[in-house]
Amino acid sequence: MLDDRNRRIRIAREQAAGQRDRLRAIIDSMVEGVVFVNADGNISLCNESAERIWNVSAEELVGKPLLDCHSPEVRPMLENILAQAKRTPGFAAGRTMVGSKGQCRLSNYSSVHGEDGRYLGLVMLSQDISDRVALEQEHRQLREQLFQQEKMVLIGQIAASVAHELNTPLGTVLLRAQMIQHQLADDADLSDVKVLEGEAQRCRRIIDSLLGFSRRSEGVLATTEVDSLIRESLSLIEHDLVLKGITVETVYDTKAAAIRVDGNQIQQVILNLISNASDAMGERSGRLQISTGLVPGQHMVEIRVSDNGSGMSQEVLARAFDAFFTTKERGKGTGLGLAICRRIIEEHQGKIEIQTSPGHGTTVSVRLPHVPVEIPVDE
């Protein structure tokens, strides 16, 4: 009888060990990371997926308190989960955590209670959702870009329509104002007529900006030295900068000499950025720096236009490239300058970005594809 009892005990142990091994094999085969925290708050089980997801070995986790295995920032949240799990049978919760290296993990917590209601522990199932989150962000950015493009096309169509409708009557007003000046005597008071002509000219410039914004020109591409474009642009606006007491500093990188662009369009961008920087510095003396260089690790040339002006708030920065948005006084800006600049740069397969801080100036960086220049070798 004793032998029979020992045999049954041995068989029961073998069955229990087999079930335990099968259960462990099932847990280790799971894609989700499985961590079991016992009633004392210590980790007693960790599968292979959890080691991979959390980038830590089971030896480093098993036997340690769950709270000690997490950063201080998330411990209060875990303490709350453990407390709720202990007093609430059937408790379940989900949390998303971002690691120090940007990994995004989704963890689901479930309490385990015995048939008598006694708390046995907490099961934590984890998934690495970094790829999914990155894909969702990419899709969101694409949707935003598509929406922005559709919006800009619509604005461009409206702008072109308005500009064409206003161009003809405005031309008539301007022509008549000039005729009146010629018809009046030389000693006549022409101040009102000159105001009329000046305002008409300003309207004409606004219309030209609207047409320029709505127009999609292929341009004439040619390999151009970026330094030459900057020098030509400065020569056109240098007198105004001197009158405002603005000091100009240029730093050219000879390795970033060549770009294949429409020179007139890129010069328009440079002039606009210089003009914006000048306006940001106001009437006081300021410092304007223009530099060029190669972007490390990319085949791109960077043009940086920096000023020590008033800078922008985050609210203004968020709308800086929006068409018709301006912080300038009425009559001093159409709000199309940066919108046109971005359109031109993007059509050249480039990027334009703004770094700014209120009271600490602004830096606008323009990146364009670099064209290596072959140096002829004497035979």
- 271 C-beta neighbours (distance < 10 Å), count: 17
**pLDDT at residue 305 above 80?**
yes
Give 260's strand partners.
223
Q: What token pair was written down for 23?
A: 């259960």
C-alpha separations of 158 from 151, 165, 210, 215, 355 in Å:
11, 11, 9, 12, 31
Quote the CA–CA distance of 45 and 123 in Å, as a whole number. Answer: 9
Quote the CA–CA distance of 38 and 319 in Å, as a whole number. Answer: 53
pLDDT more than 70, % of the chain = 79
Quote the CA–CA distance of 182 and 193 in Å, as a whole number. Answer: 11
- Domains of the chain listed by start with CATH number: 31-128 (3.30.450.20), 130-216 (1.10.287), 219-373 (3.30.565.10)
Interval 105-129: pLDDT, tens: 888 999 999 888 889 999 988 888 8
- 91 C-beta neighbours (distance < 10 Å), count: 19
Is 306 within 8 Å of 289 (Cβ atoms)? yes
**pLDDT at residue 352 above 90?**
yes
Residue 377 is predicted with a pLDDT of 42
Mode of pairing for the β-strands spanning 351-356 and 258-261: unpaired
| Packing angle, helices 337-347 and 263-281, rounded to 10 | 150
CA 251 from chain centre, in angstroms, equals 27
**pLDDT at residue 254 above 80?**
no
Residue 100 is predicted with a pLDDT of 60
- 324 C-beta neighbours (distance < 10 Å), count: 13
Residue 379 is predicted with a pLDDT of 43
Bigger pLDDT: 178 vs 155: 178
Interval 308-336: pLDDT, tens: 988 888 888 888 888 777 777 665 666 77
What is the full DSSP assignment across 303-333?
EEEEE-S----HHHHHTTTSTT---SPTTS-
Residue 375 is predicted with a pLDDT of 46
Is 227 within 8 Å of 259 (Cβ atoms)? no
Q: Which residue has the tokens 């480093």?
A: 60
Closest CA to 74 of 43, 97, 105, 41: 97
**pTM for the full model?**
0.50
Closest CA to 277 of 228, 322, 324, 233: 233
Phi-psi region of 253 (alpha: psi -120 to 50; beta: other; left: phi over 0): beta
Bigger pLDDT: 200 vs 212: 200
Interval 48-96: pLDDT, tens: 888 888 888 888 888 889 888 888 888 898 899 999 998 899 899 888 8
**pLDDT at residue 337 above 50?**
yes
Is 222 within 8 Å of 260 (Cβ atoms)? yes
Interval 258-267: pLDDT, tens: 888 888 889 8
**pLDDT at residue 252 above 50?**
yes
**pLDDT at residue 45 above 70?**
yes
pLDDT class for 137, splitting at 50, 70, 90? confident
Mode of pairing for the β-strands spanning 286-294 and 246-251: parallel
Quote the CA–CA distance of 36 and 46 in Å, as a whole number. Answer: 7
Please give the angle made by the CA atoms of 190, 195 and 196, to the nearest 5 degrees.
95
Kindly give the residue spans of alpha helices, DSSP state H, lying in the chain.
2-29, 48-54, 58-61, 75-87, 130-183, 191-214, 226-243, 263-281, 314-318, 337-347
**pLDDT at residue 215 above 90?**
no
Bigger pLDDT: 194 vs 80: 80
3-state secondary structure of 186: coil
- 191 C-beta neighbours (distance < 10 Å), count: 8
Give the max Cα distance, the chain. 139
Residue 249 is predicted with a pLDDT of 92
Quote the CA–CA distance of 41 and 296 in Å, as a whole number. Answer: 49
pLDDT more than 90, % of the chain = 14
Of 109-123, 239-253, 361-375, least confident by mean pLDDT is 361-375
